A and B are shown apart, each in its own frame.
Chain A
Amino acid sequence: MALTPVLLLACAEKTFNSLLARDPAAPTRLRRLAGKRLLLRLERPSLALLVTFHTQGLGLLHAPQAEETDADAVVEADCEALGSLLAGESLEQLMFSGRLSLRGQTHLLEATRELLMDLDLDWEAALAEWFGDVPAHSLAEGLRRFARFGLRSQHELRTDLAEYVFEEARLLPGQAQREVLRDHLTELEVATDRLEARLARLQRKLDARRREPMT
């Protein structure tokens, strides 16, 4: 059981380093970060992770007893805030909303996010290692063509489907029709409010007349 978290961390480290090795821009970014260390303290689940950077990649180490002085930056957050950060939410926004706390060299967290999220992987080079340069290029070209075809087909399918549903079969109202309908509804709502107000005024007048003494 003691080895399960170790195995998970080892897998994560291996995955990150394999991906970084495929990114032509990563060595430059890693050189800037080499020697730095980031202590990440997660609240739920409770986990202290020391991220060390070196020229070939990064290291992940479970470090429950790590001291703040041993890291260049200390990040405290919950999983949700970390997810938001990795999804691209502004660091300042997370800090000011109190979901993430950061001490030390603040730019280190930005640089780490940039390193991991701006990966531009050279898949063709990875394929070339297995199949050789020429077959890998043909395969990569085929995959690219297939991807382009997929994107184009998806776009065309969406357009055709919209045209059929909105224009030909008229199963659903189109955007313009929906706007007009909404305007009509708003007008109807305003008219109904007016009518309600007039009725209330008439009712008040009627009640006042009834209360007047008979002469």
Chain B
Amino acid sequence: MTKRTTHFGYQEVPVEEKAARVADVFHSVASRYDLMNDLMSLGIHRLWKRLTLERAGVRRGQSVLDIAGGTGDLTLKFSQLVGPSGRVVLADINASMLNVGRDKLLDHGVGGNVEYVQANAECLPFADNTFDCITIAFGLRNVTDKDAALASMARVLKPGGRLLVLEFSKPPHQLLSKVYDEYSFRLLPKMGELVANDADSYRYLAESIRMHPDQETLKGMMEQAGLERVEYTNLTGGIVALHRGIKL
């Protein structure tokens, strides 16, 4: 009997191994994740996340789920927006990332309205129709079964709720695409080696970005998961795309 496989960067690995391998990558980079993000994106990741926050349209008293929330950048802002009567759940499959995020938020004085949940996006441990807004920023490409994850997110969204997916994508411009390839496969692993002493994890990052579905494919997957009015915005020449869909 042949084993079901999936991609881990450019490698094919058994489906049940991928989650553990991704977990290893993030255990390894967790402590320097924010620093590396700033270095790799020249700080632009903060603007991508700000735009996500604007498009989320979160209001006072609402409940928000920040999946793969990592070090809690979005959760911090969401907690201020929903206020004490609202609720933000920071979920991540990786305990190391969740710990870093929780420590960072506590250092910022964020408490009361934030909960921390270690959860797999493919089978979210929440009741149907729970959240007004769900975001997943730079997390979907690491999920083994993306369709299952999108379906799970659609399930826990309230009717009228929004799902926002911020993820690396495919630059439509040929020249930019080539420059980006050179940067990702030559410079990025070197930076990873210098700063986080871990070139392999950052090579995986570049490879996983290339294996991630492009803008139109992801839009189709979100529609397939039951979301409607799905639209996307290319950011920084399409290096990153922000998809938004509504559950009606």
Contacts and interface: CB of A to CB of B under 8 A. Distances in A.
A37 B84 CA distance: 13
Contacts of A62: 54
Interface in A57-72: 59, 61-63, 65-67, 70
A127 B45 CA distance: 30
Contacts of A54: 80
Interface in B87-139: 108-109
User: Most chain-B CB neighbours within 10 Å: which of A3, A10, A37, A54?
Assistant: A3
Interface in A141-163: none
Contacts of A63: 54, 57
B80 A3 contact: no
A52 interface: yes
Given A52-B80, A70-B59, A10 B235 contact: no
Contact of A10 (B50, B83, B109, B233): B50
B84 A61 contact: no
Given A10-B46, A35-B83, A70-B60, A3 B54 contact: no
A195 B44 CA distance: 80
A134 interface: no
Contact of B77 (A7, A37, A59): A59
A120 B36 CA distance: 36
B81 interface: yes
Contacts of B233: 2
B5 interface: no
A2 B80 contact: no
A55 B51 contact: no
A55 B60 CA distance: 17
A71 to B, nearest CB: 9
Interface residues of B, number: 21
A3 B236 contact: yes
Interface in B35-69: 44, 46-48, 50-51, 53-54, 57, 59-60
A95 interface: no
A62 B81 CA distance: 13
A183 B163 CA distance: 78
Contact of B109 (A3, A6, A7, A55): A55
A9 interface: yes
Contact of A3 (B47, B53, B59): B47
Contacts of B83: 35
Given A63-B57, A65-B57, A67-B59, A6 B77 contact: no
Interface string B226-248: 00000001011000000000000
A60 to B, nearest CB: 10
Contacts of A70: 59-60
Interface string A37-78: 100000000000000101110010111011100100000000
Contacts of B81: 52, 61
B120 to A, nearest CB: 31
A66 to B, nearest CB: 8
A6 B46 CA distance: 10
Given A10-B46, A55-B109, A70-B59, A2 B51 contact: yes
A7 B47 contact: yes
B80 A59 contact: yes
Counting chain A CB atoms within 10 Å of each CB, which of B47, B48, B77, B236 scores highest? B47
A62 B47 CA distance: 13
Contact of A9 (B50, B57, B84, B109): B50
A37 B83 CA distance: 10
B59 A6 contact: no
Contacts of A61: 53-54, 81
A37 B81 CA distance: 9
Contacts of A35: 83-84
Nearest to A54: B80
Given A7-B47, A61-B53, 5 more contacts: A2-B51, A6-B50, A10-B46, A61-B81, A67-B59
10 contacts: A2-B233, A3-B44, A3-B47, A3-B48, A10-B47, A54-B80, A56-B109, A61-B53, A67-B59, A70-B60
Closest 9 CB pairs of A and B: A70-B59, A6-B50, A3-B47, A6-B47, A6-B51, A62-B54, A54-B80, A65-B57, A70-B60
